[in-house]
Structure 1
Amino acid sequence: MQGRRVSRARSTLRADLTVLALVGALLLAALGAGGISLYQQVYSPSAFVGRYLDLLAAGRAADALRVPGVSVDLASHSGVGLDSTASEALLRTSALAPLTDYEVTSEEHEEGAYRVRAVYRAGGVSGASTFEIVQDGWIGVVPNWRFARSPLAEILLTVRGADAFAVNGFDLERGQVSEKGAEADPLAPLHMLVFTPGAYSVTVDTAVAATPGVRVLADTPLGRTPVDVQAMPTEKFTELVQQKVEEFLTACATQEVLLPTACPFGLEVSNRLGDGTAPKWSIIRQPVVTIEPDGAGWWIPPTDALAHIDVTIKSVFDGSEREVSEDVPFQVDGTIGILPDGTASIRVGSPAGG
């Protein structure tokens, strides 16, 4: 009987040990699965990219710049492909467009680096970007990561017809972002750093010029994207130029000479003026001014106008005099430059006979 009890006890023990081993195996499997899940969600290259996108979506530009591998010292890293003088003016919260519907879709390991692809909507525009991630040491028993290639990019922005503009509603002036300051060439591209991913809309809205905007999607880390914005004259500016041209021509008409100085109209005669008389000019049809872009400024295309002269002409042959009352057609053109203080310098074209 005692032998049977011992045998029975041993069978029970074996069964208990088997159950314990099975439970242990299940616990180890659960811990392994949990560890893998935790790694994917928190410690993987994909999670690293996801946290970077979280910061951009939250508008935390300063924190995004502190993510390892984002900031680049352009002065000492000229080989990254970005201009060494590029402005950081757009690396701020107020210049970010909304980033939504972002998701990491793949992660591939090759040659010691991970390529992480993400899709998103930036400023309402759908896009996709691929980021290169490498390990950057350890934090305890988990890996640390950084961008192997900075997710910053560069916009080469040319704004024609205005020195003031806005990017995603953030106001800027050419002199603020150009390395040459107030001496900046108005036709030279402005080098500006931006975040990838990001949508950037450039608009002009001044008293002189305006544009509905040009939008560009920065979707390639260290990419360089040219953006050309042509501002167009506002209705108010066109009205002002019309007024100034009319005032100029009216002033020309006050000159009591056949060829008013520096004016686009005049009358050439082979005889002489009558004794004691002076020409009387008037503008009977003012030009209808239009304004078109001309490089960094504007120009007034040739426009028809009509002057009138009343004058007495004396013949050099017999001394006889005759009254002349004549319409004199002419054309007006000109150039318009924008001065550093934002005012316009209007120069009406060549004078008559010039």
Structure 2
Amino acid sequence: MMQGRTVSRRRGALRVDLSILTLIGLLLFAAIGAGGAALYQQFYSPTAFVERYLGLLSSGRAADALRTPGVAVDLSLLENSGIEPTASEALLRTAALTTLTDYEVTSEKQEDGTYRVAVDYTAGGVEGSSTFSVERNGWIGVVPDWRFAQSPLAEIELTVRGSDTFAVNGFALDRRQVSSHGADAAPLDPLHLLVFTPGLYSVTVDTAISATPGVSVLADTAMARTPVHVQALPTEKFTEVVQERVDEFLAQCAEQQVLLPTACPFGLEVQNRLAPDSLPKWSIATQPKVTIQPDGANWAIPAVDAVAHIEAKIQSLFDGSVRDFSEDVPFQVNGTITILADGSASIRVGSPDADDD
């Protein structure tokens, strides 16, 4: 009797031990599953893939970001996506990146095998949001590998008026360096520039001739083309130089001792004639105050008022008498300024034949 009770107690204890071991096993399995899920989400998920890409941009590792699977694309894919196939890669470098901070994945949704990963961030101090498409790219051992289903590159279609040189996020460029036409690039032809998304790109001009505080664009949509137009304005120094050239041009006109100075914006016709052995003397009584305004790829001098003064001796055709003649002659000055390939300016004042470089 005692032996049966002992066996029964042992069996009961064994069942308790087995139940405890089963519970421990289930808890351990759940812990492993939870840990695996956490590792997957942190290191091997589409979210983790996008976060690594954003981390590369944030740390300025442009070359590594470009090597991320699915970022670099061939020319045929660019053209099919609506991006200019000859777009320059000049801005896909560290020197052209701006700051990228506070990036955070806000959602991850699967749609027909493609994951849509939405992120918020601050780029160059501007808050933005973007959505990236990610797809399976095989396996690395037992964990999935990923790639961008759609490249996160985008295009800025940039037109800069008034300057061949400019900077993007402080990175200096010349239109002839990034145009597919090279040295034959026309001043008003748009420039096609590939950029990373997300990113803020600020275009500025700062030359001796022209400047602009800058135009910024947030590249937040993959494979999108964003037109950007920048109009540089003449610098104070450039305006001063043009004023000096106009003053010199008018002074040279005033040196001509004739009633109608050649290729000049002022002159005088009289009913009588100059007295024998007498030459008229011109002076500029009121100098024009020159301004400069954009004119397509170049510049123009809008018409401005000025006054010349003439002193002469006039002989009457009626009775031959001679009298002193003194008169102010109002006139207007205008002109064009063409920026030459070497960066110098060709200034034409008052007449297409008057040229001063």
Question: What's the offset of the Cα at 1:321?
Answer: 2.4
Q: Which residue of 2 aligns with 1:313?
A: 314
Q: Which residue of 2 aligns with 1:19?
A: 20
Q: Which residue of 2 aligns with 1:323?
A: 324
Question: What's the offset of the Cα at 1:77?
Answer: 4.5
Question: What's the offset of the Cα at 1:11?
Answer: 1.4
Q: Which residue of 2 aligns with 1:256?
A: 257
TM-score (norm 1): 0.97
Question: What's the offset of the Cα at 1:3?
Answer: 2.1
3-state SS of the aligned residue for 2:277?
coil
Q: Which amino acid aligns with 2:144?
A: P
TM-score (norm 2): 0.96
Question: What's the offset of the Cα at 1:75?
Answer: 4.9
Question: What's the offset of the Cα at 1:189?
Answer: 1.0
Flag structure 2 segments of 5+ consecutive residues without an equivalent.
none
Q: Which amino acid aligns with 1:104?
A: V
Moved more, 16-25 or 304-313: 304-313
CA contact (8 A) 1:292 1:300 kept: yes
Q: Which residue of 2 aligns with 1:47?
A: 48
Q: Which residue of 2 aligns with 1:88?
A: 89
* C-alpha separation in 1, matches of 2:343 and 2:98: 28
3-state SS of the aligned residue for 1:220?
coil
Q: Which residue of 2 aligns with 1:162?
A: 163
* C-alpha separation in 1, matches of 2:229 and 2:284: 41
Moved more, 311-320 or 188-197: 311-320
* 2:239 equivalent to 1:238: yes
Q: How does 1:193-272 map to 2 (within 5 A)?
A: 193-272=194-273
* C-alpha separation in 2, matches of 1:282 and 1:189: 46
Query: Between the two proteins, what is the percent identity of the paired residues?
Result: 69
* C-alpha separation in 2, matches of 1:237 and 1:78: 41
Question: What's the offset of the Cα at 1:285?
Answer: 1.1
Q: Which residue of 2 aligns with 1:99?
A: 100
Q: Which residue of 2 aligns with 1:291?
A: 292
* C-alpha separation in 1, matches of 2:220 and 2:77: 24
Query: Over residues 23-63 of structure 1, what are the superposed CA-to-partner deviations in whole Å (9 max), with x where a residue is unaligned?
Result: 00000001111111111111111110000000000000000
CA contact (8 A) 2:158 2:227 kept: yes
Q: Which amino acid aligns with 2:148?
A: F
Q: Which amino acid aligns with 1:144?
A: D
* C-alpha separation in 1, matches of 2:164 and 2:78: 30
Q: How does 1:138-177 map to 2 (within 5 A)?
A: 138-177=139-178
Q: Which residue of 2 aligns with 1:344?
A: 345
* 2:134 equivalent to 1:133: yes
Question: What's the offset of the Cα at 1:346?
Answer: 0.8
Question: What's the offset of the Cα at 1:183?
Answer: 1.6
Q: Which amino acid aligns with 2:201?
A: Y
Moved more, 262-271 or 205-214: 262-271
Q: Which residue of 2 aligns with 1:78?
A: 79
Query: Over residues 189-226 of structure 1, what are the superposed CA-to-partner deviations in whole Å (9 max), with x where a residue is unaligned?
Result: 11000000000001111111111111000000001111
Would the alpha carbon gap of residues 96 and 77 (structure 1) be closer, same or farther in structure 2, given more than 3 Å must change? closer
Query: Structure 1 runs of 4+ off > 6 angstroms?
Result: none
Question: What's the offset of the Cα at 1:147?
Answer: 0.5
3-state SS of the aligned residue for 2:75?
coil
Q: Which amino acid aligns with 2:69?
A: P
* 2:28 equivalent to 1:10: no
* C-alpha separation in 1, matches of 2:341 and 2:299: 15
* C-alpha separation in 2, matches of 1:77 and 1:189: 17
Q: Which amino acid aligns with 1:120?
A: Y
The alignment yields a C-alpha RMSD, in angstroms, of 1.3
Flag structure 1 segments of 5+ consecutive residues without an equivalent.
none
Would the alpha carbon gap of residues 351 and 6 (structure 1) be closer, same or farther in structure 2, given more than 3 Å must change? closer
CA contact (8 A) 1:115 1:133 kept: yes
Moved more, 313-322 or 28-37: 313-322
Query: Over residues 144-165 of structure 1, what are the superposed CA-to-partner deviations in whole Å (9 max), with x where a residue is unaligned?
Result: 1111110000001111111111
Question: What's the offset of the Cα at 1:351?
Answer: 7.9
